[in-house]
Each structure stands twice: as C-alpha cells, then as structure tokens.
Amino acid sequence: MVTPMPDDLRRTAEQARGFMPPAEGQALYEIACAYGSRGPICEVGTYCGKSAIYLGAGARRAGTVVFTVDHHRGSEEIQPGWPHHDPDLVDPKTGRMDSLPFFRDTIAAAGLEDEVIAIVGASATVARHWSTPLSVLFIDGGHSEEPVTADYEGWAPHVMPGGALVFHDIYPDPADGGQAPYRVYLRALESGDFREARVTGSLRVLERV
C-alpha cells in the first residue's frame, strides 16, 4: 500500500497554478512512489510546477529525483487568445510567456527543490542529448500533433523495462478534448512495447514490457 501524500504537499499542489485535477495528481504521486526506486523520473511540460509537486513528493518517498523539461515560453494552447492563457505569465519586459519564475516559487513553497530539477530548454533538443534510463516518463507538454509526437518519439525510448510511460489529457471522445495525445497514446500501445497498467481520469499509465 502506498503511503499517503503528506497533507502539506497535497494542499500546496492543489493550490498551485495548473490543470492537474486532484485525483490525477494523487495518481502521479502513487506512480512516482511505485516506480521511482528504479531510477530518475522525467516530466515533459513543467508549466508552473503543479504536477511536479505530486511527482516530487513521490520521488522523495522513493529516493529519486524528477527532471522536469520545459522552455517555459508556453505551449500553443496557453498563448494569448487561447482559452488557457494566463496574462499574469506574460513577461512585461519581453511580451513573451515566462512560467519559470512561477515554477521556482511553486517548488520552493513545496520544499521540493532537492527533488525537482528544472531543465530549461526545448524538449526535442534535450531528448536528443539524454542518455539516462527513466523509471517514469510523464508526457504533458504541447497537446497538438507535432509536439506530442516529438515528445513521444524523443523520450519514450529512454523508459527502462518495467518503467512507466504516462500520458495526460487522453480523451477517446473528441467532444471531451483534443485528439493528438490520444492518437500518440494509441500508437504507444500498438507498438507492442507498452501495456496499459492504470487509468485515472484522463491519465493513462503504460508499462514497458
């Protein structure tokens, strides 16, 4: 049985900016606890650090760390004019999105700076130079076809045997949400390299066979 997430970390996560429902966040924590002792965790798509708190809390329990990769300039769906845009994240000096200061504040408030390590850069660039096997890979970056495909192709090969590949915002019904993550999730299943291990809301957990 997984030890419950500490109440202070859970409250901090629930209050942080972001789009992770509590039940799915709790699932992330449990996944990090279950798989993290095998190696480091990688999150693709940091935003302001909400999901990184759940992963970081689990990483602390498992004795590992979370590398969270993001250029912090915002994915397509949070740019001005899009439904998830937050004007507070626009840097007044440059006029560009910049979620990095908000991420740093979030992780500092959670007391997880030793467990959650930011890698600031484009996911595809970092993936090309990555070589460490991962116990958990959480893909939650750009949700249109090109970025989610690139995240899968660049990072999934680094998931170790028995490790977990986790997708967020998987909606089989187009009426519920965008289809690009769902198509890539199906591609992962059809590859034969992964089997489905858990479903929580829009979260899908695949285990490398």
Which domains, from first to last, does the chain contain? 7-208 (3.40.50.150)
Does an H or E element contain 33, and which? Answer: helix 22-35
Residue 1 has pLDDT above 70, yes or no: no
- CA dist 9 and 12 (Å) reads 5
Q: Can you give 104-131 as a three-state secondary structure string? A: HHHHHHHCCCCCEEEEECCHHHHHHCCC
- CA dist 163 and 58 (Å) reads 15
- CA dist 162 and 153 (Å) reads 18
Tell me, yes or no, if 71 is annotated catalytic: no
Q: What is the mean pLDDT of the chain?
A: 94
Phi-psi region of 194 (alpha: psi -120 to 50; beta: other; left: phi over 0): beta
Residue 78 has pLDDT above 80, yes or no: no
Q: What is the pLDDT of residues 139-176, one digit of tens each?
A: 999 888 999 999 999 999 999 999 999 999 999 999 99
The catalytically annotated residue of 71, 143, 158, 168 is 143
Q: According to the model, what pLDDT value does residue 82 have? A: 63
